[in-house]
Structure 1
Amino acid sequence: MGDLDLSQGLECPPEINESGFQSCCFDMMDVQQEILRLDDGLDMLVSHNPNTMSCVASLLLSVNKVKKLLNRRQLSDQEFCSTILDVLVEERHVETTGNPPQTNGKPPFQRVNSMKLCTLCDDDDKDIIYDPAKLQLRAFLLKGGQTEHRGNFQMSKYSTGSSDGCQAVMISIVNSSLYFSCSRQSDQPMLSLEECSVGDLTSISHGGSMARFLFYRNTLCSMTTFQSVNCPGWFISTSQTDKQPVEMCEQDACRYMNFKMN
């Protein structure tokens, strides 16, 4: 890294001490210790100990702070000792564990006090139902008298923290802790029902793992689409065939992506 000239960090020019070396600039490999004459009655003994650049910077900061204090007034021995202790710079190494959430510079999604109970029906009048045996959502074309089988859902709103007008929502099954979630499995976005505590869903970071529970809702002419926040460009959709699972699809797929909320 090269030799460090300590004189660059001091306000006064380097002086020559009795050993013939410059006080603030010497070969650290050859000289094991040296006395630096900082001021009248104040010397500093520097011993060679290969440290990090941050240690050297801390030393220079402390020296300059002591000099400024000494220039203000004459200190007693006790005051001088207290001053030395006060200006010591403490170096700490902070270790972080785990991967910090990726925020992408955006504020987190925050749950707002707005919830809506609803049922969901696609463009083909198929109702979304919850199949507890398979822990799955399916689209059924219910006949007369079967409306009691419709799935009842709860939709919670989230503020996006941005001004782009998007509305983020979280959908759960009424009277349960099961939430719609979208995550990639073998690089394919998959819709599933996942159990989660409501306390863990109050604030959600952009790009964080909990974003899998959020969907952007876009309503036009009473029809609504739900785009995954975790997998942009993928929407909740139903098949053209009856009694098939509800899945994620891209916008150009031959599936129903528009829903009526009743």
Structure 2
Amino acid sequence: MYDSDLSQALESPLGSEETGSESCCFDTTNVQEQILRLDVGLHLAVSRNPKTMQGVATLLLAVDRMKKSLTSRGRELSDDELCGAIMDSLMDETIVKTVENFSTGERKITFQRVNSVRECTLCDTTKKDVIYASGELKLQAVTLKGGQGDRKVNFRLSRYITACVSPDDGQSVVLSITNQNLHISCSMNGDKAELNLEECTEEELRKISNDGHMDRFLFYKRTTGISLTTFESVKCRGWFISTSYEQENQPVEMCKVDTAHRLTSFVVNIG
């Protein structure tokens, strides 16, 4: 289960250093409460006070995103999945600067990391788990037998706020190997995108701009079907993290979404 205070997520940017402010959801002075029915078995209690228009817009966007996530699954959610849907829907009030270069027409977009980190493992739709081949700095997909669960890679999934032009882009994330300074990256090599594991400091990953090469660490995380997730490279659009459809012990690589014999959907098991 997720141990999170929704009032903190709706009130101010995660990780804010401001103190002394009161919660915009749990101030009990002159509270008027309204119950909103979101889906079967799920209701949202809204405590209303005279607050800023920004706070109201944040709440409405969060509710709208959560409703879409719930209705697309077509089945009753477990407690863990429900908490995950709620936390995924939260819109952090983070200002993302977009600067346009008028001489080239290109826009500089800053990706800001927020204090929302999950640990997870990945397995593809044929039940192959992602493992780490430490001697080669490569990830592989393997069907693990009983007692081999410790071979799974534990990832840190860090969220970023972006100035996405389209909501279909999904969440921007960085995938890092837990307890190691290694992060998945994607860069073009000729006409093909390559997946690598690279070292990078936490400070360098705090803010990422698309005008340099650092956006190679970013991926758009999208939910498809029932509890399936894809990861598309932010730098190399149209290229997805994938595994081999049939073969064992093959490297995790980038591929186009329609590439034959490659799987681009994963089950994200939150630790």
Q: Above 0.5 in TM-score? A: yes
Residue 104 of structure 1, CA deviation: 3.0
Pair 1:105 & 2:80 matched: no
Report what 2:266 is aligned to: 259
Residue 163 of structure 1, CA deviation: 5.6
CA distance in 2, matches of 1:216, 1:103: 24
Pair 1:152 & 2:154 matched: yes
Residue 164 of structure 1, CA deviation: 2.5
Residues 1-262 of structure 1 mapped to structure 2, 5 A cutoff: 104-162=106-164, 164-165=166-167, 166-220=170-224, 221-240=226-245, 241-254=247-260, 255-262=262-269
CA distance in 1, matches of 2:217, 2:243: 19
Identical-pair percentage: 49
Q: Deviations over 1:26-57 (max 9, x none)?
A: xxxxxxxxxxxxxxxxxxxxxxxxxxxxxxxx
Report what 2:15 is aligned to: none
Aligned-partner SS, 2:204: helix
Question: 4+ residue runs of structure 1 moved beyond 6 angstroms?
Answer: none
Q: Which amino acid in 2 is paired with 1:237?
A: S
CA distance in 2, matches of 1:164, 1:114: 22
Gaps in structure 2 of 5+ consecutive residues: 1-103
CA distance in 2, matches of 1:211, 1:170: 10
Report what 2:97 is aligned to: none
Residue 207 of structure 1, CA deviation: 4.1
Aligned-partner SS, 1:198: coil
Q: Deviations over 1:202-260 (max 9, x none)?
A: 11112420000000000122000000001000000001211100000001112010000
Residue 150 of structure 1, CA deviation: 0.8
CA distance in 2, matches of 1:188, 1:245: 15
CA distance in 1, matches of 2:136, 2:235: 24
Aligned-partner SS, 2:107: coil
Residue 106 of structure 1, CA deviation: 4.7
CA distance in 1, matches of 2:155, 2:105: 29
Report what 1:27 is aligned to: none
Gaps in structure 1 of 5+ consecutive residues: 1-101
Aligned-partner SS, 1:231: coil
**Aligned partners of 1:140 and 1:242 also within 8 Å:** yes
**Aligned partners of 2:216 and 2:235 also within 8 Å:** yes
CA distance in 1, matches of 2:166, 2:227: 21
**Aligned partners of 2:109 and 2:211 also within 8 Å:** no
Residue 103 of structure 1, CA deviation: 9.2
Q: Which amino acid in 2 is paired with 1:211?
A: D
TM value normalised by structure 1: 0.59
**Aligned partners of 1:183 and 1:189 also within 8 Å:** yes
Q: Deviations over 1:76-104 (max 9, x none)?
A: xxxxxxxxxxxxxxxxxxxxxxxxxx993
CA distance in 2, matches of 1:187, 1:130: 26
Pair 1:186–1:105, CA change in 2 (3 A): closer
Q: Deviations over 1:62-87 (max 9, x none)?
A: xxxxxxxxxxxxxxxxxxxxxxxxxx
TM value normalised by structure 2: 0.57
Q: Deviations over 1:164-183 (max 9, x none)?
A: 22210000000011000000
Number of equivalent positions:
161
Residue 144 of structure 1, CA deviation: 1.3
CA distance in 1, matches of 2:130, 2:259: 19
**Aligned partners of 1:136 and 1:193 also within 8 Å:** yes
